[in-house]
Structure 1
Amino acid sequence: MKGEHPLLVITLVFLHVVNGCPHVCTCNSKAKTVDCRGRGLTEVPSILYFDMQELYLQNNRIRTVHPMAFREATALKVLDLSNNSIASLADGAFQGLHNLVVLNLANNSIQDIDKRLFISLRSLSELNLSFNHITSLPGALGNDIKNLTRLSVRHNRLQKLDRTLVEPLSKLQALFIHNNPWICDCQIIGFKLWLESFLFKGGTIDDIKCQQPDELLETDLRKVPYEIFQTCPSSSYNHLLASIHHTDSTHKASRLHVQSDHAGESLPECEPKQRPRPVNLRHAIATVVITGVVCGIVCLMMLAAAVYGCAYAAIMAKYHRELKDVDQLPPTTEQGSPEEKEPLDSNIA
């Protein structure tokens, strides 16, 4: 019996290794998930079976992720390392995870991200880096994970985000960047332009409030007028104007293209009609002047009519009064009085 115990232990260890489930974790071979949440782990388990698709390591005390830590989990699609104490991620930490779709690194102590950290994550769709101490993102981020649809970098120490970093993210649908100490100076012009284009295309974003300069404190970058950047170096401001012109031209071209499909008109025939703004201004001034003159003439005519009406009414009233006075006079007799007729009558007799 005593000899059977070591054999039993060896057998169990062998089965455990073959199964690939860490002894402190809960594994579901049918769902292909490994649950290691809140187990007090200080590092990523070294035994992981190759066809595992979901690995949950949050709420532990992991401080670092070593190179090739997930070399045996090539089928992994969901990896959650949130709520740990991770301060560093070695180059190659996620090497081999070509099928990874969701990566959660929120609520850690990450400060720097190696420029090649995400190079093998070609299928990554969601990346959560919130609640860390990140001061900058690797410049090749957009080129390494072009299939990214959701990115969260909330509650970090980012002061700027370069336009060239996010432009390659053509599939991005949602960007969460709230609560970072953004500096809204000349270096953020390109990112502001990208934001407006991103929103125009239907993207989702939370607020991005400036912390510097003082006059823009707590102002959302999207509401900062472009006139603020007129003091920028000429090269930066010229780039801004060129970008705005390019964006406007693109939008106009798209609208005119749609109109031409319906009306059979081409862009060269329509474009010149939108340019002569000074002519429109002169037309507006001429319209105002002509309108004023016409209104003045109408007012004078109305005044003359009123004066004529009053004069006519006064004359007619006087005429009616005189006519009334004439009607009230006593009638005059054409024959003489009786005294004057008597001598005549006597002579006739």
Structure 2
Amino acid sequence: MLVFCLSVMIKLFFQLDASICPEKCNCSSKNAIHCSGPHIKDLESLNLPCNMTEIHITGTNVTYLQDVFSRMVELQHLILSSNNISLISPAAFKGLRNLTLSRNKLEVLPPGLFLHLHDLSKLTLYRNPLKSLPEVLFGEMRHLGSLWLYHTKLSTIPDFVGLNELNLFHNLKHLQKVYLNSTKLQSLPGDFFTASSELQEVFLDNNPWRCDCQILGFREWLLKSMEIVINVPSLTCQSPLALQNISLVALTADHLKCPPTTAITYQMFSSSYSRTLASLVMEHLTSSWETTVRAVPDMDTSTPTSIPLATPGFTYSYLEDVGQPRFHFSEVPTQTSPSVIVQTNSVRGIDLTTLAWLDEIPARRSAKPYFNTRVAYCQLFLCLYSLVLALQTVTIVFSLYVMGKTRQLLHSRNTPAQPVVLIKFLRR
């Protein structure tokens, strides 16, 4: 009787297990399920169990990914590679640690798709026809360690020109590996990776880099990050034709020949100097503006004595979080906030020496006395190296001399004594 009861219970257990595991899926592991095949077109019809921690769905004909996984509170690893997914519900994912969406047909991603993935450590999106990324794509993924975006059609990435709190990677402080190779990227802002202080590997090769004046900031970052950027020599210009195949790290301002009348961005990464420079510019512009207003008697008294917020001409903007002041010279109106702008024409009485003073800022900066400690250290190390080399040479010569003398001494000791023959004995 006991044996019969046990057999019935075992049979019911296996029947229950069979009813939980979807058809044509592998449920051999206790908390994992593997489903594949072109017959799968809708994940809702699979009736996936909610207690799984790992789900693999590959090689299907699923085109729309609904929010079937959002109610699976125990799910940690979700692999959805090599499907035909082209559309995803914004609430499709929640609480994952590993998400793989590679080899699908995703061209766009809905904003906020990953907002609820606070514990995600690996995100894989490679080999998708992605053309752009939403500005609030990653949200609060503070634990993300690796991001795979290679072999996509990304041509632009939200940059916000250095505002750290709005940077695409602002919250990815623990990001260690970034794969952005084999995309359509032509340029990146110089401060794109500054928020990710734990970066170990960055792949940027096989991209069609456009070498113009806007790439100078990225080049500066590249020179400072050669130990983490993989295969730096392969990062070469694809356009313009005159600079084709030239390495990005070999570029100079002379190569680019940026005319002074176009928009030139001076990117300075020293936050302490940037703050000092910002205060100097503000003080000078304010005093110049007040002096000009007092010098023009026929100006309307209703004219504001503060600097306007948007005028064509010179624009100075200071970015507090990154500490990168940017100077723009252009003939078209620009809008920055906060900014200090001086109008170069169509206003009577403007002191034009202001622009000349501002134009000389880089020259004045370079004209300041500067002691290059790096050169001094190099000279000191060179002297020490020469001294050590001389000591080694003297030691080797002295050792050879001692060895030669020792050999002569040993040779003389081993030489047999010559016999002495008594020829004549003299007696007195």
**Corresponding residue for 1:81?**
101
Is residue 51 from structure 1 mapped to residue 74 from structure 2 by the alignment?
yes
2:116 to 67, 88, 96: 96
Deviations 1:233-252 (A, max 9, x none): 38977836x559x99xxxxx
List structure 1 runs of 4+ shifted beyond 6 angstroms.
234-238, 273-277
**Corresponding residue for 2:133?**
113
* 1:161, distance to aligned residue in structure 2 (A): 0.2
Distance 1:35 1:222, change over 3 A: same
**Corresponding residue for 1:203?**
228
**Corresponding residue for 1:222?**
249
Partner letter of residue 57 of structure 2? C
**Corresponding residue for 2:63?**
42
Instruction: Tell me which moved more, 35-44 or 102-111.
Output: 35-44
Deviations 1:191-223 (A, max 9, x none): 000011112xx3132322111121210122012
Aligned pairs for 1:79-228 (under 5 A) are 79-139=99-159, 140-199=167-226, 202-206=227-231, 207-228=234-255
Distance 1:50 1:96, change over 3 A: same
Distance 1:132 1:196, change over 3 A: same
Aligned pairs for 1:216-255 (under 5 A) are 216-229=243-256, 231-233=258-260, 239=266
2:214 and 2:265 in contact (8 A); partners too: no
Distance 1:24 1:96, change over 3 A: farther
More helix by share: 1
1:35 and 1:57 in contact (8 A); partners too: yes
Distance in 1 (alpha carbons) for counterparts of 2:172 and 2:56: 26
Distance 1:131 1:238, change over 3 A: closer
Distance in 1 (alpha carbons) for counterparts of 2:247 and 2:186: 14
Distance in 1 (alpha carbons) for counterparts of 2:239 and 2:264: 19
Please provide the CA RMSD for this pair: 3.5
1:35 and 1:55 in contact (8 A); partners too: yes
Aligned with 1:169: secondary structure?
Answer: coil
**Corresponding residue for 1:60?**
83
Distance in 2 (alpha carbons) for counterparts of 1:24 and 1:108: 27
Deviations 1:73-108 (A, max 9, x none): x1x211111001111211122231111111110111
Aligned with 2:222: secondary structure?
Answer: helix
* 1:190, distance to aligned residue in structure 2 (A): 0.6
Give unmatched runs, 5+ long, in structure 2: 1-11, 33-52, 160-166, 274-369, 377-428
1:155 and 1:179 in contact (8 A); partners too: yes
* 1:46, distance to aligned residue in structure 2 (A): 4.1
1:58 and 1:82 in contact (8 A); partners too: yes
Distance in 1 (alpha carbons) for counterparts of 2:245 and 2:260: 24
2:67 and 2:91 in contact (8 A); partners too: no
TM-score, normalised via structure 1 length: 0.59
Aligned pairs for 1:287-306 (under 5 A) are none
Distance 1:42 1:238, change over 3 A: closer
Aligned pair count reads 235
1:61 and 1:84 in contact (8 A); partners too: yes
* 1:142, distance to aligned residue in structure 2 (A): 1.9
* 1:24, distance to aligned residue in structure 2 (A): 6.2
TM-score, normalised via structure 2 length: 0.49
